[in-house]
Amino acid sequence: MEDNSNKTDEMVFGEIIGMRDEIGKIQEAIADFEVGKKLNVAIIAGLFGGKTTLIKEIEKLNLSRATKITFSEVVRDKKEISLSGDTKRVVLFDNCHFLYVRKPGGFDIFYEFLDMISSQNRIFITTWNIYSWKYLKEVFELEKYFPVQIVVPAFSEEHLKQLIFNRYEEGEIIFNNGGESDEEPVAYITEYPIELSAIGKKISIPILKINIHYLKKYLLSEKKEKKEGKEKTAEHRVFERIHLESKGNPGVALRIWKLALDYPHIKPEDVGNFSYDIELEQEEAFVLNLILSYQGLKKSDIVDIIGSMLKTDEVLFQLLNQELVFEDENDSFRVRPEALHSVITYLEKLRLVW
Amino acid sequence: MVDGNSVNTTREQLLETIRSIETQTLVNIILAFFVAYIFARIITALLSKLSEKMSRSGRIKVKMVIPAVKFGIYIVAFYYFLTELLNIFGPELFLLTGLIGAAVGFGLKDLFADFVGGVIITFEKPYQVGDKISIGNYYGEVTDIGLRATKLVTPDDNTVTAPNSLIFNEAIASGNYGASEMMIVIDLYIASESDVKAAMKILRETVVTSKYVYISRTSPVILLHKSLPFYTRLRAKAYVNDLRDEFEFESDVHTRAWTEFGKNGIRAPQLHILNIPQIGEESELRTTRRKNDRSNVIHGKYSDFNAGSQKNS
């Protein structure tokens, strides 16, 4: 059978799950602007964190008064950020981390942008990659231009379940307990991922857990409901592991789900435990940091920053070889979702991300 | 007056006690120091290896512990030594202390001063293992604080062993004082007629985009500019992420800044302003001078008078 979830990728990821408080704050800032109080908004999130989904929702809610501009690669031309006369009063800029290049002379468009958002009579709602934001905050005190800062929160286990289930019909996915027998365990060992930035590694510690979910169902349910109960507890274990491994990052959770799914079956034991042993040279770590901070970088952009085609080839070869990044359909290099937390921990150890 | 007979008796008693020391006790004492030494070396090596695998701040923290652990081990060994000594000598220990005092006073005073210096360094921490320090005429990263001396590795990869007693006589400057980041001052000199504003912008962007930089609220990038009669000095004060990359950071900023300066028509100060001949001219002059020198030597061989007259001229 075929997993047809890809067809609905866009649609489901576009549906807003959680984030009601965040939407409320942004709408409040827009409402304040209407009465003369201008508070630019920065939506900040990590890679695959869901900031684009959030800004799309804001666009939907303000269709009549908002203009949205999305940057999908490093902006080289000032015209790309200049606003025409018919631009509405609420301006949504998605992926503002593409407005600078980390090299001397690479901030001219960024300066223009700062000048624009502080001088024009419009409210600017922007999205930023968290690591670019932190860098620009330390270097240019960026937070002063954005009095309202919204950090996209991690998804709860329930929200992740909702996000994944939205892609399938009811009862389409079958959860198995994975054991030889049909019995659901009363206690089980689960791997608890811990990120140790002091040593730059993500490790997993086995933890014994009592299957409270199952026990509750077993003790309280009628006999006919017990079979259903078994599947429900396997489902709970699958999402518990996905939540632990993804740390509530929806993009990472979806990737882990896909890797574990043997359509239409999924077992808790198949939910991967991803830990990468990363050893990189200074230049390689720096490029990895760039790829993480920009979300996706083309090879030409990396060459522009590093200043050497030969070195870039060498570095990218290493990063691809260690399976830390991949090249997407737009020729951009991106961090692998399943390697994301290992990469962050490693770069935190080197203090390349702050 | 001291009775001569009683002094002789005490001396004999002491000699008698020394003669009564068993070989086993001596071996035990030597063995205790040997074990302490080996143990301290192993612990140092293990902690050093562990620290190198850790984050930059973690590395410094672990290395800070090493001298204290080493001193702890040696103190235990010394305590054992003293206990054995008290067992052997009892009240005669005072006489022995006098002898030790005299030995320290005359021959081993430097060694004793080094040891006291080591104790002060360990507990007062004017610097720590992993710090970049200037001590005496040397500058480098502290790799080991021992009982007698501190080892530094200089930027030229020379290992310098500086006696711990230097802390009593010399001022010590620690560039990072336990932190993994360290401020680096980078000076660039440009021609007075250059566009200083553009140069400052380039320098700032070069520093903040370097792969070696560390920026935070407490470690900001500071840019200064000073106009001097014949040139302009631009100074950047920024923190290097890992103090081991101190020179790489400086070199990276210089290389990239000068590349950008070149693109923007910002030039280095011209030597003719200082009436120093241009490089081409200078080499010509040098060749001429060398020729003259050679002729002087030839002349000098034959006539001291000639050489003297050259000097006078």
Q: Which long-range contacts (CB under 8 A, 24 or more apart) does A219-222 make?
A: none
| A339 has a pLDDT exceeding 70 | yes
Range of weakest confidence among A290-294, B17-21, B69-73, B265-269: B17-21
Average pLDDT of chain B is 80
- Which pLDDT score is estimated for A344? 94
- Partners of residue A353 in chain B, C-beta under 8 Å: none
- H or E element at residue B190: strand B182-191
**Cβ–Cβ under 8 Å, residues A271 and A332:** no
Q: A350–B241: do the CB atoms touch at under 8 Å?
A: yes
Q: Hey, are the CB atoms on A107 and B211 less than 8 Å from each other?
A: no
Could you please report the per-residue DSSP string of A56-121?
HHHHHHTTTTEEEEE--S----GGGTPPPTT--SEEEEE-GGGG--SSTT--HHHHHHHHHHHHSS
Q: How far apart are CA A318 and CA A207, in angstroms?
A: 34
CA distance B98 to B114: 21
DSSP state of B243: G
How far is B241 from chain A, CA to nearest CA, in Å? 7
Which residue in B53, B214, B260 is closest to A351 by CB distance? B214
Confidence label for A191 from pLDDT (cuts 50, 70 and 90):
confident
Residue of B nearest to A197 (CA): B55
pLDDT at position B215 is: 94
Mean pLDDT of A92-105: 96
Cβ contact, residue pair A104, B53, below 8 Å: no
How many other β-carbons are positioned within 10 Å of the β-carbon of residue B190? 23
For residue A29, the model assigns a pLDDT of 95
Q: What is the mean pLDDT of residues A304-333?
A: 95
Q: In the prediction, which pLDDT does A335 show?
A: 96
Q: Determine, for residues B221 and A106 on separate chains, whether the beta-carbon distance falls below 8 Å.
A: no
Q: Given this model, what pLDDT does residue A193 score?
A: 77
In the predicted model, is pLDDT for residue A221 greater than 80? Answer: no
Yes or no, beta carbons of A138 and B217 under 8 Å apart: yes
pLDDT at B296: 41
Beta pairing class for A148-151 and A41-45: parallel
Residue with tokens 């502290």: B142
Of B180, B205, B214, the CB nearest to A104: B205
Chain B hits for A282, Cβ within 8 Å: 211, 245
Query: Are B182 and B246 spatial neighbours (Cβ–Cβ below 8 Å)?
Result: yes
If DSSP codes are grouped into helix, strand and coil, which group holds residue A189? strand
* pLDDT score of A186: 73
CATH superfamily entry for domain A19-151: P-loop containing nucleotide triphosphate hydrolases (3.40.50.300)
Is the pLDDT at A266 greater than 80, yes or no? yes
Q: What is the pLDDT of residue B87?
A: 72
Q: What would the pLDDT profile of A11-69 be if each residue is shown by its tens digit?
A: 334 457 778 899 999 999 999 999 989 999 999 999 999 999 999 999 999 999 999 99
pLDDT confidence of residue A237: 85
CB atoms < 10 A from the CB of B222, how many?
Answer: 12
pLDDT in tens, B167-211: 888 888 999 888 889 999 999 999 999 999 999 999 999 999 999
Q: What is the pLDDT of residue B274?
A: 56
Residue B283 has pLDDT above 60, yes or no: no
Is A187's pLDDT higher than 50? yes
Contact A139 B55 (CB under 8 A): no
A351 and B241 in contact by Cβ < 8 A?
yes
Q: What is B182-271's CATH number, 3.30.70.100, 2.60.120.10, 3.90.1150.10, 3.10.129.10?
A: 3.30.70.100
Instruction: Look at A199 and B53 and tell me if their CB atoms are within 8 Å.
Output: yes
Q: Token match 């900040």: residue?
A: A44
Q: Which of B273, B179, B262 lies closest to B232 in space, CA to CA?
A: B273
Give span(s): CATH 1.10.10.10, chain A. 282-349
**B241 contacts on A by Cβ (under 8 Å):** 350-352
pLDDT-based confidence at residue A7 (cuts at 50, 70, 90): very low
Options 2.70.70.10, 1.10.10.10, 3.40.50.300, 1.10.3720.10; CATH of A282-349: 1.10.10.10
Contact A351 B260 (CB under 8 A): no
Residue A137: closest CA among chain B residues belongs to which residue?
B216
Give the ipTM of the model, two decimals please.
Answer: 0.83
Helix ranges (DSSP H) in chain B: 4-20, 23-52, 56-89, 93-106, 109-124, 166-169, 196-208, 246-263, 279-302, 304-312
Chain A residues within 8 A of B259 when measuring between CB atoms: 104
Q: Which residues of chain A form CATH 3.40.50.300?
A: 19-151
Map out the domains of chain B as residue ranges: 1-180, 182-271, 277-312
Mean pLDDT of chain A: 86
Question: What was the pLDDT predicted at A164?
Answer: 92
Quick one: pLDDT at residue A232?
62
3-state secondary structure of A45: strand
Q: Which residue has the tokens 């380039």?
A: B202
Determine the distance in angstroms separating the CA of A130 from the nearest CA of chain B, rounded to an integer. Answer: 15
Is B209 in contact with A102 (Cβ distance < 8 A)?
yes
Question: Which has the minimum average pLDDT: A144-148, B48-52, B203-207, B247-251?
Answer: B48-52
Q: How confident is the model at residue B57 (pLDDT cuts 50, 70, 90)?
A: confident
Say if the Cβ atoms of B211 and A286 lie within 8 Å. yes
Burial pattern A31-45, b for ≥16 Cβ within 10 A else e, equals eebeeeeeebbbbbb
pLDDT surpasses 70 at B94: no
Chain-chain contact of A104 with B257 (C-beta, under 8 angstroms): yes
Q: Which residue has the higher pLDDT, B140 or A10?
A: B140
> What band does B51 get if pLDDT is binned at 50, 70 and 90?
confident
Closest to A254 (Cα-Cα) out of A134, A156, A338, A331: A338
Contact A350 B56 (CB under 8 A): yes
Looking at residue A226, its pLDDT comes to 56
Does B12 score more than 90 pLDDT?
Answer: no
For residue A202, the chain B residues in CB contact (below 8 A) are: none
Q: Tokens 């002729």 appear where? A: B295
Pairing of strands A123-129, A41-45: parallel
CA distance A286 to B307: 62
Nearest by Cα to B138 from B183, B179, B170: B170
Q: How far apart are CA B261 and CA B201, in angstroms?
A: 10
Residues of B in contact with A199 (CB under 8 A): 53-55, 58
Q: Take residue B216 and report the two structure tokens written for it.
A: 């935070």
Q: What residues form DSSP beta bridges with A151? A: A44
Q: What is the pLDDT of residue A10?
A: 38
For B202, the closest of A104, A135, A350 (CB atoms) is A104
Closest alpha carbon within chain B to A134: B216
Residues of B with CB under 8 A from a CB of A: 53-58, 180, 202, 205-206, 208-209, 211, 214-217, 221, 241-242, 245, 256-257, 259-260, 263
* DSSP state letters, A266-302: E-GGGS----------HHHHHHHHHHHHHSSEEHHHH
Largest interatomic CA distance in chain A:
72
Q: What is the C-alpha to C-alpha distance for residues B77 and B54, in angstroms, rounded to an integer? A: 31
pLDDT on residue B311: 37
Residues of A with CB under 8 A from a CB of B: 102-107, 135, 138-139, 197-200, 282-283, 286, 305, 307, 348-352, 354
Q: What pLDDT does B170 receive? A: 87
Residue B302: per-residue pLDDT: 36
Closest partner residue to B209 among A103, A200, A283, by Cβ?
A103
Q: Which of B55, B180, B217 is nearest residue A198 as measured by Cβ atoms? A: B55
